[in-house]
Amino acid sequence: MVIVQPNSQIKLTNVSIVRYRKGGKRFEIACYKNKVMEWRSGVEKDLGEVMQIDNVFLNVSKGQAANKDDLMKCFKTEDRNAIILEILKKGELQVGEKERASMLEGMYRDIATTVAEKCVNPETKRPYTVTMIEKAMADLHLSVNPSRSAKSQALDVIKQLLEKKTIPIARAQMRVRIVVPSKDGKRIKDKLMTMIASKEDEDLDENYEWTCLIDPGQFRPINELLQAETKGKGQLEMLSLTETKQGDEVF
Amino acid sequence: MPSIPEAELIRLQANQAHVRNICILAHVDHGKTTLSDSLLASNGIISSKLAGKVRFLDSRADEQERGITMESSAISLYFKIRRRAAAASIAAAANKANAAAAAAVAAGGVVTDQSNDTTTTAITSTTASSTEDSAANSGASTPAESVAEEYLINLIDSPGHVDFSGEVSTASRLCDGALVLVDAVEGVCTQTHTVLRQAWKESVRPVLVINKIDRLITELQFTPLEAYIHLNKILEQVNAVMGTFFSENVLEEDYRKKAEKKKEQGTTESTTGLEDTFSDWHVETQDDSHIYFHPSQGNVIFASAIDGWAFRVDQFAAIYAQKLGMKEGVLRKCLWGDFYLDPKTKRVIGYKGLKGRALKPLAIHLVLDNVWKVYDIVVVNPDKEMTEKVVKSLNLKVLPRDLRSKDTRAVLTTIFSQWLPLSTCVLLAVVEQLPSPAAAQKIRMPKMLHPFETTAPEPTEDWEKGMIACDPSSGVVAYVSKMVSVPLDVLPKNKRKTLSAEEMRERGRAQREHLVAAAKSAEMGEVGVHLDVDEVLANRELKEAEDKAAAEELEGKEALIGFSRIYSGTVRVGQKLKVLGPKYDPAYPTQHCSEVTVDSLFMIMGRDLIGLDQVPAGNVFGIGGLEGHVLKYGTLWSAEWEGGQNLVGKGLETAPIVRVALEPEDPSQMAQLVRGLQLLNQADPSVQVLTQETGEHVILTSGEVHLQRCMADLRERFARIEISMSEPIVPFRETAIDAPAQIVTSSAMAVNEAQGRDQVAKLISKSETGARGTIVATTPNRHVRFVVRTVPIPEDIKKYLSDNAEQIQAYVEDNGGIAKNNSGVAVLTGEVETGEKAKAQKKLLEELTPLFAKAGEEWKGREKDILAFGPRRVGPNLLINQLGFDFSRNRNSNNTDTVEEGHGGITVQDMAESILTGFQIATNGGPLCGEPMLGMAFFLQEIEILDNSQEAGGSGGEGRSKMAVSSGQVITSMRDACRLGFLEWSPRLMLAMYSCDIQTTAEVLGKVYAVIARRKGKILHEEMKEGTPFFSIQALLPVVESFGFSDDIRKRTSGAASPQLIFSHFEVLDMDPFWVPNTVEELEDLGEKADRDNVAKKYMDVVRKRKGLFVEQKIVEHAEKQRTLRKN
């Protein structure tokens, strides 16, 4: 039995372990906290800032280093650096406190920005500022889910905001132009009209043409309808993604 | 003095010759409000004991707290003198004074002959006494039979702080005369310049008041001689300022004349150098003596508003004339200046006659010494006995109780208020020196109506005559200078109907007593706060008596009252008037013109309003019923008269420069905020409110203090919600230039952004063979492949595009026609309908052709292939068709001759729409920080439908549904391809720039430069303004750096420079945001990180952070130095 004395002991603090399973064995490396994500995103380029100990372990907390045979067997190389890089890239990691915080904050902002881009104040037809949306989101007690994409969460937020009515909000509508040959046009007109929000312009001669505002969710259904009914002769053309008032308005 | 019944005031309004409209102007803290207090006290509106302490006209809570005036406020005063009788009574009084003086001498126990009593100071006090005697006599004991003249004085107290110079200009617009105050210690300050200039521009006649003379005595402990020299210096300074205005005017006129002459010479070819010399002579000979201040002219008042005294030298002259046996007129002329009294001959002698004798100038001898003496015995070395003697000799009636008061200051005030009463002196000066409305309008109106002509044409129209003559029987012309928001419960009509005038006064008195009590109990400094509390209490008590419901209804509601001056005619309640907006142009009489009925008229009495039935020409008044018609200022015009003249916009307006974005703390209160902003916008002429494209509500104010006031107003009065303030969002543009790109360009961030989704597949990548900026992209379902090349647009074309942005926009928006028939057709060649559109198209095409030809081979002739502008279909970026075939889907031919029929009926032309959309999205948010691109062109080089897609197209129907999927994927692929292509070049951020005009004096020029340099501004040029001590500097300043700029520059230059900022354009910041030090030198200088020096990166990161985009920033800088302790 080895007598463990304080001076021969290495206490690992400030450590974050990255684990990687390969060839039926589990390998670990000892990294600094809050650093692995940065390494992965390419922000941190100095490996020394990421790795605590330049070695591959089987178990970091026990100080059990992986032996050469195991490494050779699993990674088919002896170059420890290459192995470390692979583990860093593919291993599962503990997300640090600060990393998580900054990730969530970024996500939160991203959601708010997306919502702000997609919505308008229906009274003024102007977008809300991101900070306003953030305040409204705080009202919703929204918790960010880091594994879902910001966009899908933003769509959720919009739904909740619409329900809760803390602020008057509406999806910014798309302006599109629909062009259909007249014989098809007559047939699908009624169906189309139920799908659009408001009609701005109508031109019914050889081809039926409508300029209208639609809810963004309706874009695909309308497109599919057109494709199905007119055999590609109908056109759906997007004029603007979000219909908002432009320019400054002086009171 | 008892308070003046309102009926009196109303009666006086009609008598134009006895009306004076004056304003008080000065640098901040030179005592404007204090002075007006003393004047109010003379009308019994406040207690004379409190004059100078209450600051009655500072009715806002924050004004009282901070001790500065923020809003100009008006009040009407009543003043009664016996002008004709005065002369007689002075003579009579002087006789009496002699006797009194003799008595005084005896009492003083100074045994000297009265004939040479002017040598010792002790006796001076006695002489003084006689002086004061007569003054007091003439003031107090007027023979009953003398003709009393009554005056109505409309006084406007204006703020002195730089931020509120807008208020000053409105105040001076309404008035005919101005009291310009100068602190005796501080002398002429920056705002003094400004207000003098203002008065000069508006041709308002000024009277100089040198205030705070008591500070010379008690603080600086000047001797009379030192004080005399000091005061003379101030006079010189002020006159020097006036002189520059004059010379400026003369020079300007001269230039104009010369210019005119040159024009003539151009036609007649008759030139002589002689004429020029003549015009030079002309400059010399214009008389400018009338504009200067000199005590002997009576337009200089020496005062101490806090101690409640003031005098003009005439007062003393009148007294001594008798005593010294000289003519009053002569004495008045030599009572200030290098004149001495020869003690032997008893004659006034000039400097030459002095012959080395150390005599004091008359001014010191007869005037200042006396004042100093009183201060000496009362305050500096309190001497009860002497005080009593002096009081007696001055023949003042001071209660012994007051005299015995421990508070020497109070004693002083009591003595002075009887000896040299401030209000009498100032009001007398106002009445004598400043013109009546009728007289003033004769001079001012022609200037106002014809500001650019030196000699106004003879008045021809009725209204012109009416205005110049100030004729109350003519039609109505009035100017509304601002809208004041007052709580509804102040309006007379909302006061209880049963309340008679008497009762109202009673109530007012009760309130004032409250004030008095409060002020007494409180310490000087805290007066404001306590006052408010008491006021609120008093108000509450009163309200309880009233009907509660009504009170509740009114509480907190605001009404807008127009602050106006009537130039001609008589307004009556119920009268119909035309309102001409600020944009009104006589050429288009129907625009910006509406009709209103006068709801109510008011006399403005500080915070109170008195209802009126009519107001005759020449008065300042409040008018109700303009809400919704007059936004900030406007002109009122008789409905009977055709046309009209806009009186607005001829003032000197300072453009607001401090910009902040506002948001309610609680997002659901947005509506209140908007409503509040609308009210604020109406109530404050110098604030601008706007909603930006980003949805921000931005207010522009003229300074930080002004901003704070606006915020207080919004929070407490207009919106009544919590509001948060932030820096407004600053726009950027993204562009790229043809410079060696950093290797890191496609660094972490870029890769993350553009390729995040397709990292594995590498669907979008650089073309191996193509030129720089060429990107090959394939949709994720491997159905469509295309090649896009990104190229920065050459300078000339870029310039053309941005210069003609409006034209292009008009063309594109107008011309739905092209896209209507065919998406994917070239914008500038598509078939268009005839007429305007065709013309516009031809014009654009013709102008672009040479530019494209010049730009080089790859551009030549491409103008015909422009598929779209972007972003928003009108921007300064281009999508150009380089496919070599027509990209438009020719729907009319119904797909009979489409290129490739094979792939389930899908053609590349079907993808056109998606490509365009992708392009629009990419140009709307570039890869740097999601801001719009500027000046990038995208050449669509190849596009094809791939056959080898996994599920090869089966039936037409399947192909169709697949196309729907593809078209979505083409959009994202196109977007990413454009962004990646952009990064192939050397990306640059473009900063929004303000063009910045600064006027400043030579002394602070260096500091101005320093501030601009620190904020990364660029000086364009500077030049000296002829005839003035000012330099005018033009500079460019990035908008990002402008927050707090105006405040900074004002602080650094002590207010001598104030900038004007106007958005001008976007400018490339020549610095790659991805730049890092590479060479050995750079590494040595800046270290590896260099994030301190890469400004572009800093800006970019700020924006990315705000938007929640990925920021290349380390969460932990030094991994090893993290806190290593365990949590518990």
> Which A residues 58-87 touch B at CB under 8 Å?
none
Enumerate the β-bridge partners of residue B661: B698, B726
d(CA B908, CA B901): 10
| Residue A219 backbone dihedrals phi, psi, to 5 degrees | -60, -50
d(CA B929, CA B925): 7
Cross-sheet strand order for the sheet of A207-214: A198-204, A207-214, A174-181, A235-240
Neighboring chain A residues of B1111 at a CB cutoff of 8 Å: 106
Residue A46 to chain B, least CA–CA distance (Å): 11
DSSP letters spanning B524-584: GGGHHHHHHHHHHHHHHHHHHHS-HHHHHHHTT-EEEEEEEEEEESEEETT-EEEEE-TT-
Contact predicate B441/B618, CB 8 Å = yes
Q: Please name the amino acid found at residue B264.
A: E
Q: How many CA atoms lie within 13 A of A11 on its CB side?
A: 8
pLDDT for position A18: 93
A131 touches chain B (CB under 8 A): yes
Other Cβ atoms within 10 Å of A140 Cβ, number: 14
Residue B895 to chain A, least CA–CA distance (Å): 8
Among B667, B696, B917, the residue with its CB nearest the CB of A167 is B667
If you measure CA to CA, which chain A residue comes closest to B1121?
A14
d(CA B1012, CA B997): 11
Neighboring chain B residues of A207 at a CB cutoff of 8 Å: 891
Q: Please name the amino acid found at residue A140.
A: L
Q: Please name the amino acid found at residue B757.
A: R
Other Cβ atoms within 10 Å of B633 Cβ, number: 23
Q: Please name the amino acid found at residue B864.
A: K
Q: Of the candidates B620, B518, B534, B666, which has an alpha carbon nearest to the alpha carbon of residue B155? A: B620
In the structure, what pLDDT confidence band is assigned to residue B758 with cuts at 50, 70 and 90? Answer: very low
> Which B residues 791-820 touch A at CB under 8 Å?
816, 819-820
| Residue B560 backbone dihedrals phi, psi, to 5 degrees | -105, 130
Does B689 contact A251 at a Cβ distance shorter than 8 Å? yes
Give the DSSP letter of residue B157: E
The average pLDDT across B428-451 equals 81
Cα dist from B361 to A9, B357, B368, B766, whole Å: 97, 11, 10, 92
The yes-or-no verdict on residue B820 having pLDDT over 50 is no
d(CA B135, CA B13): 29
Q: The tokens of B664 are what?
A: 């309610």
Neighboring chain B residues of A120 at a CB cutoff of 8 Å: 695
Check residues A227 and B516 and name the one with the higher pLDDT: A227
> Which B residues 73-102 touch A at CB under 8 Å?
none
Contact predicate B216/B480, CB 8 Å = no
Residue A225 to chain B, least CA–CA distance (Å): 10
Instruction: List CB contacts of B1008: < 8 A, sequence separation 6 or more.
Output: B998, B1000, B1033, B1049, B1052, B1053, B1057
Q: The tokens of B409 are what?
A: 């200051």
Residue B152 to chain A, least CA–CA distance (Å): 38
pLDDT for position B123: 33
Cα dist from A216 to A178, B84, B695, B914, B1052, whole Å: 14, 86, 20, 16, 53
Pairing of strands B347-349, B340-342: antiparallel
Residue B677 to chain A, least CA–CA distance (Å): 8
d(CA B1019, CA B998): 11
Contacts across the A-B interface (CB distance below 8 Å): 178
B910 touches chain A (CB under 8 A): yes
Pairing of strands B300-304, B205-211: parallel
Q: The tokens of B1035 are what?
A: 């500079």
The average pLDDT across B114-118 equals 35
The average pLDDT across B555-567 equals 76
Contact predicate B3/B135, CB 8 Å = no
B699 touches chain A (CB under 8 A): no
The yes-or-no verdict on residue B329 having pLDDT over 70 is yes
> Which A residues 159-188 touch B at CB under 8 Å?
166-168, 177, 179, 181
| Residue B550 backbone dihedrals phi, psi, to 5 degrees | -60, -40
Task: Provide the ipTM.
Answer: 0.78
d(CA B447, CA B742): 63
Contact predicate B32/B160, CB 8 Å = yes
Contact predicate B868/B825, CB 8 Å = no
pLDDT for position B457: 63
Among B691, B752, B967, the residue with its CB nearest the CB of A126 is B691
Does A49 contact B661 at a Cβ distance shorter than 8 Å? no
pLDDT for position A9: 67
A250 touches chain B (CB under 8 A): yes
Neighboring chain A residues of B820 at a CB cutoff of 8 Å: 177, 179, 209
Q: How far is CA B1083 from the centre of its chain?
A: 48
Q: Which of A168-182, B967-981, B1077-1091 has the lowest mean pLDDT?
A: B1077-1091
The yes-or-no verdict on residue B58 having pLDDT over 50 is yes
Enumerate the β-bridge partners of residue A17: A30
pLDDT for position B287: 65
Helix/strand/coil (H/E/C) assignment for every residue in chain A: CCCCCHHHCCCCCCEEEEEEEECCEEEEEEEECCCHHHHHHCCCCCHHHCECCCCCEEECCCCEECCHHHHHHHHCCCCHHHHHHHHHHHCEECCCHHHHHHHHHHHHHHHHHHHHHHEEECCCCECCCHHHHHHHHHHHCCCCCCCCCHHHHHHHHHHHHHHHCCCCCEECCEEEEEEEEHHHHHHHHHHHHHHCCEEEEEEECCEEEEEEEECHHHHHHHHHHHHHHHCCCCEEEEEECCCCCCCCEEC
The dihedral of CA B618, B621, B626, B632: what is its sign?
Answer: positive
The average pLDDT across B322-349 equals 79
In the structure, what pLDDT confidence band is assigned to residue B830 with cuts at 50, 70 and 90? Answer: low
Does A38 contact B1114 at a Cβ distance shorter than 8 Å? yes
Does B695 contact A127 at a Cβ distance shorter than 8 Å? yes
The average pLDDT across B287-315 equals 84
If you measure CA to CA, which chain B residue comes closest to A106?
B1108
d(CA B196, CA B292): 12
pLDDT for position A19: 93
The yes-or-no verdict on residue B98 having pLDDT over 60 is no
Characterize B276-312 residue by residue with b for buried, 16 or more Cβ atoms within 10 angstroms of its Cβ, and e for exposed: eeeeeeeeeeeeeeeebbbbbbbbbbbbbbbbbbbbb
In the structure, what pLDDT confidence band is assigned to residue B786 with cuts at 50, 70 and 90? Answer: confident
d(CA B721, CA B664): 7
Contact predicate B516/B50, CB 8 Å = yes
Does B693 contact A126 at a Cβ distance shorter than 8 Å? yes
If you measure CA to CA, which chain B residue comes closest to A168?
B668
Share of chain B above pLDDT 90, in %: 1
Q: Please name the amino acid found at residue B1031.
A: F
pLDDT tens readout for residues B624-663: 877 777 767 778 888 777 666 666 554 445 567 778 889 8
B963 touches chain A (CB under 8 A): yes
A134 touches chain B (CB under 8 A): no
| Residue B14 backbone dihedrals phi, psi, to 5 degrees | -75, -25
| Residue A145 backbone dihedrals phi, psi, to 5 degrees | -100, 110
Q: Which of A62-76, B29-43, B877-891, B1098-1112 has the highest mean pLDDT?
A: A62-76
A124 touches chain B (CB under 8 A): yes
The dihedral of CA B392, B398, B399, B403: what is its sign?
Answer: negative
Residue A236 to chain B, least CA–CA distance (Å): 9
Enumerate the β-bridge partners of residue B602: B611, B622
Share of chain B above pLDDT 70, in %: 72
Residue whose token pair is 């003024």? A124
| Residue B1096 backbone dihedrals phi, psi, to 5 degrees | -60, -40
pLDDT tens readout for residues B1002-1052: 888 888 899 999 998 999 988 887 667 778 888 999 988 888 888 888 888
In the structure, what pLDDT confidence band is assigned to residue B1124 with cuts at 50, 70 and 90? Answer: low
Does B1105 contact A209 at a Cβ distance shorter than 8 Å? no
d(CA B316, CA B60): 40
**What kind and span of H or E run contains B348?**
strand B347-349
If you measure CA to CA, which chain B residue comes closest to A165?
B668
Does A240 contact B872 at a Cβ distance shorter than 8 Å? yes
Neighboring chain A residues of B963 at a CB cutoff of 8 Å: 227, 232
The average pLDDT across B866-879 equals 81
Instruction: List CB contacts of B732: < 8 A, sequence separation 6 or more.
Output: B929, B931, B989, B990, B991, B992, B1099, B1103
Mean pLDDT of all residues belonging to chain B: 74
In the structure, what pLDDT confidence band is assigned to residue B299 with cuts at 50, 70 and 90? Answer: confident
Give the DSSP letter of residue B1039: G
Does A250 contact B963 at a Cβ distance shorter than 8 Å? no
The average pLDDT across B714-722 equals 86
pLDDT for position B984: 81
| Residue B274 backbone dihedrals phi, psi, to 5 degrees | -60, -40
The dihedral of CA B768, B774, B780, B784: what is its sign?
Answer: negative
> Which B residues 938-957 touch A at CB under 8 Å?
956-957
pLDDT for position A10: 67
pLDDT for position B729: 79
Check residues B16 and B836 and name the one with the higher pLDDT: B16
The yes-or-no verdict on residue B596 having pLDDT over 70 is yes
pLDDT tens readout for residues B878-925: 888 887 766 655 444 343 333 344 444 566 667 777 888 888 888 888
Give the DSSP letter of residue B421: B
Decide: helix, strand or coil at residue B778: strand
pLDDT for position A247: 63
Does A232 contact B963 at a Cβ distance shorter than 8 Å? yes
> Which A residues 17-36 touch B at CB under 8 Å?
32-35
Residue B1086 to chain A, least CA–CA distance (Å): 18
| Residue B1113 backbone dihedrals phi, psi, to 5 degrees | -145, 135
The dihedral of CA B1053, B1057, B1063, B1066: what is its sign?
Answer: negative
Among B729, B820, B1109, the residue with its CB nearest the CB of A209 is B820
pLDDT for position B763: 67
Cα dist from B567 to B201, B302, B463, B619, B902, whole Å: 18, 32, 10, 8, 84
pTM: 0.70
The parts of chain A modelled with pLDDT lower than 70 are 1-4, 8-10, 231-232, 241-249, 251
